[in-house]
Amino acid sequence: MNKYELGGVLLGRDVIKNKVKELAKEISLYYKNKPVHVIGVLKGSVIFLSDLVREVDRSIQMKLDFLSVSSYGASTKSSGVVKINKDLDESVVNKNLLIVEDIVDTGLTLQYLINILRERSPKEIKVCSLLDKPERRIVDLKADFYGFTIPDEFVVGYGLDYGGYWRNLPDIHILRKVD
Ligand code: IMP
Ligand code: MG
């Protein structure tokens, strides 16, 4: 059993803040003339989502809903098993969905989510992810809006966790293995 400790900062709070503003601009432009139904994937996306939606232009018609999936236990490797633990409150029929995720790693979680949501007849599904870890991708999937491409490192902070911890950190850190 490996132990992990907090490593150095990969993305500091100011860098994140600027990127969130840029993303919000892109999103405001894209949803200028259509209402958006934002779907937050709990729990990893909550910090990012709450910063992001407050930077979106106030003229945008927006609703928020949340769902919770589990793809990882207290492990840094994907189990490939994705389960809905908490479903959305509202119907998504004929809505413009924007799924907000913390990170796209293997892509399995998002692919599963998109497939489930597609069956519920939304008008459109777009994806916004703060982080993209393309080296580990298993399925062919790319977010429509994304913040940073990161190397194949396990990261925590700004919503991202290891075993439930470290979500509250304001910066994104690399997790370091201790021998
Ligand atoms: P995927 O299904 O492999 O794309 O994994 C997606 C989910 O795994 C994310 O929503 C995260 O919850 C988690 N995850 C993947 N990589 C990391 C990481 O580096 N740090 C923290 N969580 C991660
Ligand atoms: Mg997550």
- d(CA 16, CA 37) in angstroms, rounded, equals 23
Choosing from 51, 102, 105, 161, the catalytic residue is 105
Instruction: List strands edge to edge, sheet with 172-178.
Output: 3-11, 172-178, 155-156
pLDDT digits over 8-19, tens only? 999 999 999 999
User: 131 in a domain, yes or no?
Assistant: yes
Can you tell me which atom of ligand 1 is nearest the CA of 104?
4
User: 178 in a domain, yes or no?
Assistant: no
Q: What's the CATH code of the domain at 132? A: 3.40.50.2020
> Separation of 68 CA from ligand 2 center, angstroms?
8
> Separation of 33 CA from ligand 1 center, angstroms?
32
Structurally, how many domains does the chain consist of?
Answer: 1
pLDDT at position 31 is 98
User: 60 in a domain, yes or no?
Assistant: yes
Task: Verify whether ligand 1 is closer than 6 Å to residue 160 (CB atom).
Answer: yes
User: 175 in a domain, yes or no?
Assistant: no
Three-state SS at 145: strand
pLDDT digits over 100-111, tens only? 999 999 998 899
Query: Domain span at residue 131?
Result: 13-151
The pTM is what? 0.94
pLDDT digits over 42-77, tens only? 999 999 999 999 999 999 999 999 999 876 555 555
pLDDT digits over 110-164, tens only? 998 999 999 999 999 999 999 999 999 999 999 999 999 999 999 999 999 999 9
